[in-house]
């Protein structure tokens, strides 16, 4: 059976994840006229597994939303033993400059393009609750960084917690119990990219507007992202690309609810196609039934929608399993000490960059 170079590389990627620790999901950057990267992986839940979906999400550097979209009907608390699950590691890069940090709230992923490496580091995130939304369509920069941030709840937060019969301290001191975690990158007066003290929330809308990462992921960003790095927020639930061979792909995520009615409804949030996406999908070669199916199913994975010969299979790659392939009994964080566990083959590892002088904090973050 003929196998594409990308499919072979994806198997190597997955096997490497089982045999060694890596620091993040890293993809080699495709050519400027290409945005499709990676390959999906298929795993089987062990017969004796007692782990929640979060454990598998952390193991494979995914957010809960990514896993739920790719595996509809999966039990969040205890995925069924013997069930096959897709790890959605194939994706379309956001329609944004390949520079600095790009945060796509709709898919709850952070993309970091380290200078001089021709790679992109992809990390799952948690974002703001409905009504306390993470910014969208905003370009800013990393203004300062803090090792051991404190958190000062606002008056509104005190009132919110008091209404639930809970009391907040005036200031949360730095440390492992701080809701901001152990590291923070401040990106404006009210927002930060920071860690968390919880064992859930990555891939969910749980914060007061800030961007949350797992503990080891924020540590890696803190050590490698310089002050002054460009940060762009986008909201792209639908991404589409025309690849160099003429293949056209669309990737559809559930759009973020904008009202309480939408949030509480079982109905799908309507999808709006941008002009950029529409240009990809109106071509005569595109099968509109496939487009409609992709919009309806919203798997969060790229779907090929035209008839050009496909050299990049979208079906998951079945990876031989070893005892090391399964999540450990520690679902609170990724299984490695560096913060993630999959590295794309032949990717130049971003080297720790000289640390710019960290300015003393002048204000505590108010949005965790």
Q: Is 123 exposed, middle or buried (0-12, 13-18, 19+ CB in 10 A)?
A: buried
Tokens standing for 151? 């958190």
Predicted local distance difference test score (pLDDT) of residue 348: 42
Asked if 125 contacts 339 with a C-beta cutoff of 8 angstroms, the reply is no
3-state secondary structure of 288: helix
Predicted local distance difference test score (pLDDT) of residue 205: 64
Asked if 64 contacts 212 with a C-beta cutoff of 8 angstroms, the reply is no
Q: Is 72 exposed, middle or buried (0-12, 13-18, 19+ CB in 10 A)?
A: exposed
Predicted local distance difference test score (pLDDT) of residue 264: 75
Domain architecture of the chain: domains with CATH: 5-325 (2.40.440.10)
Note the pLDDT tens digit of each residue in 343-359.
Answer: 343 344 444 443 333 33
Note the pLDDT tens digit of each residue in 282-300.
Answer: 999 999 999 999 999 999 9
Residue 24 has pLDDT above 80, yes or no: no
| Catalytic choice (158, 194, 208, 253) | 194
The closest of 311, 232, 341, 235 to 36, measured between CA atoms, is 311
Residue 331 has pLDDT above 70, yes or no: no
Contacts of 107 by beta carbon, 8 Å cutoff, 6+ apart: 65, 66, 91, 236, 237, 253, 300
The closest of 41, 85, 62, 81 to 318, measured between CA atoms, is 41
Asked if 171 contacts 247 with a C-beta cutoff of 8 angstroms, the reply is no
Note the pLDDT tens digit of each residue in 165-206.
Answer: 777 766 666 677 777 678 889 987 778 898 887 767 787 767
Note the pLDDT tens digit of each residue in 65-82.
Answer: 999 999 999 999 999 999
How far is it, in rounded angstroms, from Cα 368 to Cα 191? 8
Predicted local distance difference test score (pLDDT) of residue 307: 80
Predicted local distance difference test score (pLDDT) of residue 353: 41
How far is it, in rounded angstroms, from Cα 148 to Cα 184? 8
Strands 144-147 and 109-113: unpaired
- pLDDT band for position 364 (50/70/90)? very low
The listed range with the strongest mean pLDDT (34-38, 179-183, 270-274, 314-318) is 34-38
- What's the distance, CA 251 to chain centroid? 14
Predicted local distance difference test score (pLDDT) of residue 154: 66
Predicted local distance difference test score (pLDDT) of residue 170: 67
Q: What is the mean pLDDT of residues 123-150?
A: 80
DSSP track, 28-46? E---TT--EE---EEEE--
The closest of 30, 35, 32, 27 to 240, measured between CA atoms, is 35
Predicted local distance difference test score (pLDDT) of residue 151: 66
Predicted local distance difference test score (pLDDT) of residue 153: 67
Indicate the length of the chain as a whole number: 368
The alpha-carbon radius of gyration of the chain (Å, integer) is 20
Strands 303-304 and 317-318: unpaired
How far is it, in rounded angstroms, from Cα 203 to Cα 213? 9
Least confident of 80-89, 138-147, 250-259: 250-259
Residue 51 has pLDDT above 80, yes or no: yes
The closest of 38, 22, 18, 122 to 338, measured between CA atoms, is 22
Residue 41 has pLDDT above 90, yes or no: yes
Predicted local distance difference test score (pLDDT) of residue 182: 82
Q: Is 210 marked active-site?
A: yes
Strands 248-252 and 238-242: antiparallel
Q: Is 208 marked active-site?
A: no
- What's the distance, CA 212 to chain centroid? 10
Predicted local distance difference test score (pLDDT) of residue 70: 96
| Catalytic choice (158, 208, 210, 253) | 210
How far is it, in rounded angstroms, from Cα 216 to Cα 213? 8
CB atoms within 10 A of CB 31: 8
How far is it, in rounded angstroms, from Cα 72 to Cα 300? 11
Note the pLDDT tens digit of each residue in 231-276.
Answer: 999 999 999 999 999 999 999 999 876 677 777 777 888 899 999 9
How far is it, in rounded angstroms, from Cα 327 to Cα 329? 7
How far is it, in rounded angstroms, from Cα 10 to Cα 315? 12
- pLDDT band for position 141 (50/70/90)? very high
Q: Is 199 exposed, middle or buried (0-12, 13-18, 19+ CB in 10 A)?
A: middle
């Amino acid at each position: 059976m003929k196998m594409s170079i990308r499919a072979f590389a994806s198997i190597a990627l997955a096997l490497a994840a089982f045999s060694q620790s890596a620091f993040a999901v890293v993809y080699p950057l495709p050519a400027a006229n290409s945005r499709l990267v990676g390959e999906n992986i298929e795993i089987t839940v062990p017969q004796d597994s007692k782990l929640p979906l979060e454990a598998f999400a952390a193991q494979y550097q995914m957010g809960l939303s990514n896993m739920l979209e790719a595996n509809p009907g999966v039990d969040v608390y205890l995925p069924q033993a013997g069930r096959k699950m897709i790890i959605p590691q194939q994706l379309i890069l956001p329609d944004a400059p390949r520079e600095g940090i790009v945060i796509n709230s709709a898919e709850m992923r952070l993309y970091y393009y380290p200078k001089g490496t021709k790679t992109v580091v992809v990390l799952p995130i948690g974002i703001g609750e409905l009504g306390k939304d993470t910014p969208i369509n905003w370009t800013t920069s990393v203004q300062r960084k803090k090792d051991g941030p404190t958190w000062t709840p606002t008056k509104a937060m005190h009132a919110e917690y008091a209404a639930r019969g809970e009391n907040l301290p005036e200031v949360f001191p730095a440390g492992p119990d701080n809701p901001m975690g152990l590291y923070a990158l401040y990106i404006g007066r009210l927002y930060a990219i920071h860690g968390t003290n919880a064992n859930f929330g990555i891939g969910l809308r749980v914060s007061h507007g800030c961007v949350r990462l797992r503990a080891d992921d924020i540590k890696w960003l803190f050590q490698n992202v310089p002050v002054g790095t460009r940060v762009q927020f986008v909201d792209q639930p639908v991404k589409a690309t025309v690849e160099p061979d003429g293949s056209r792909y669309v990737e559809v995520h559930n759009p973020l609810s904008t009202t309480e009615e939408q949030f509480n409804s079982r109905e799908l949030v309507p999808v709006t196609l941008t002009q950029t996406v529409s240009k990809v999908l109106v071509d005569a070669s595109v099968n509109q039934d496939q487009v409609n199916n992709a919009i309806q199913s919203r798997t969060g994975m790229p779907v090929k929608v035209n008839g050009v010969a496909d050299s990049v299979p979208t079906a998951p790659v079945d990876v031989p399993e070893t005892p090391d392939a399964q999540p450990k009994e520690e679902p609170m964080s990724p299984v490695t000490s560096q913060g993630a566990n999959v590295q794309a083959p032949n990717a130049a590892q971003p080297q720790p960059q000289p640390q710019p002088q960290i300015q003393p904090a002048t204000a505590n973050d108010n949005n965790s």
